Structure 1
Amino acid sequence: MVTTNRYSIGVDLGGTNLRAAAIDSDGKQLGKSSGKTNLREGREAVIEDIVLAIRALRDEFGQDKLAGIGVAVPGFIELKKGLIVGSNNLPAFDGFPLRDDLSEKLGKPVILENDANAAALGEKWLGAGQDVNDLVLLTLGTGIGGGIISDGRILHGFVGMAAELGHMTVIPGGNPCGCGNEGCLEKHASATAVASMGRLLHLGDNPTSKDIYQIAMGEGEDAKKARHVFELMGTALGIAIGNLINIFNFPLYLLSGGPLPAWDLFAPAIFREVEKRSFTYRNTKTRIERATLGGEAGLYGAAYLPFQCSGELKRAET
């Protein structure tokens, strides 16, 4: 099959799953492949899987219409060098020139991007942020990631490490974090933090955040304890979002990730805190909403990168 539209290939490389999709310039997903990230077999095996997935999509939809390739990965990225730096999920790739290696093997430009940044761009392109040019996305999961879209583009900072929103201090002297700080947002509002608080409250021997949510939806003392966990989560998020609103004055702040089914349990605390802490919020039509693309956001964002601006790719390579 050969498409008549220009298309790009987006890759979402995680510590567990590897996905690739061909997506045309209208945002239509033409084809997709999914599999496990073969980390046990080593870095070269993972790279081979990426290359094979991209080649299969390219062969199916045509070389001539392929605009480029975007790859979303967890961890810090040095944009100018195309390096993954300090990814806990992909330790074998630490310091490896993945962008240039893939580009050489595929004969096409490759753009490497942080997965949360790509998710924010995906929401801007096809999700909850289509009507704005400026937004902040917080991704709630094992940790908390973030992406900032300013004037329609990812805000990178001077080396590409902007938007590490999970490491904002929200509780001075709070829980210690692996980054070396104390009281980071992700230590008080991530799925891992919810599970840890549930364990401290004896809501199971080794509960997950999903377990805590299910308990919270019940009745009795344990349900009250579980609901309190989500109130604490919402309070921490509200402090963070209130600060972000005061700093950026953007129209839209989005949340995504596994804990979203518990929105009704933690969102009221978010809005209470933001109302209290942000004069800007109280006097504008700032929106705080759920993201809509779910786990597909990073894949769409990665695919959008080659469409956005070839000049941006050149700047990243200089």
Structure 2
Amino acid sequence: MKFEKAYCEEINRCIDPYEARDLYFSNDSNYYMRKLTFLCPSEHCRVPLLQVAIYRKEKTKAKIHFRTKSLTNHIFSPKKCDYYYDVDQDFTNEVNAKKSNHKKKSVLPSEFLLIKPTQLMKSLRSVENTMNTNNNTINKVTRSKSIGSTTKGVSNVKTHYFEHIIDCYENNDPNTLKTQTLTINGKEKSYYSFFKKCEYFSDEEGLIYWGEVTKLKKYGKNYRIRFKKKAWINEKGLEITIYLNSDLIQSYNKKNQLLEVLEKLTTFNGEIRCYFVGVYPNIKKISDKGNDFEAVSVKIENLDHLVFRFDSVVEE
């Protein structure tokens, strides 16, 4: 049985696999490179859970999650597990329950937050400290709306983990993606419509852009990412590139993991997909050895908004 949340002994609360992954790879985390203990989120159960692909540096299409070690653990727990379908000790019911739990659909987040809640709160507190009481009241109202109060009785599932959104896109069928809505920075569309092939970026701003990329090129401590397909602008094919400089990489809280992935990308021969959000490609004039030409440049400002996906597990 798969779980989208698990109780973490070390943290003493339930977390999702994306938070567990973030804690593991964040250089400034108290749990950096430390494998945590996960249990069933039901306080009546707490059987051990296994992590699946959470600690893998290079992400593939497989969605990260928690799962049980065995069905029996849940059936014979002292009290009924809140997260499991009704089960008794009859073998037939056990098998049916197992099938039912495997069919349970994942909940797709309804909103992707470009700013982490902790960053947002710090920013708002800084503003509040410099303003008078009346303005403080206004800011508090704005803050409550920004960090996700629900409206019209609709329960919103929010996430600031870009990998979570990519997993939902890659692991659901087109019909599901067309019926489930997603909001990013006030823009609301279906999951299906939010993802735009990078070569068609000029169709609309504020989307998630993606495409297959070639092997990365390394220039000293900097990296150049080139998309395989060109963007056709004014009947001209323009290369689409992302340039990651060393200063940006070194300031990233998951720089060690990122650097290992980037190094693998310089030699990996399989398919590499690249996704980015929060920035819009722009056309730049470039001079090289006396030759002037145009290219499409993507300036990544937040490395949490850049995700690479491999078509297979990279061998160590």
Pairwise TM-score range, normalised by the shorter structure: under 0.3
TM-score by length of 2: 0.28
TM-score by length of 1: 0.28
The structure with the largest helix share of the pair is: 1
The structure with the largest strand share of the pair is: 2
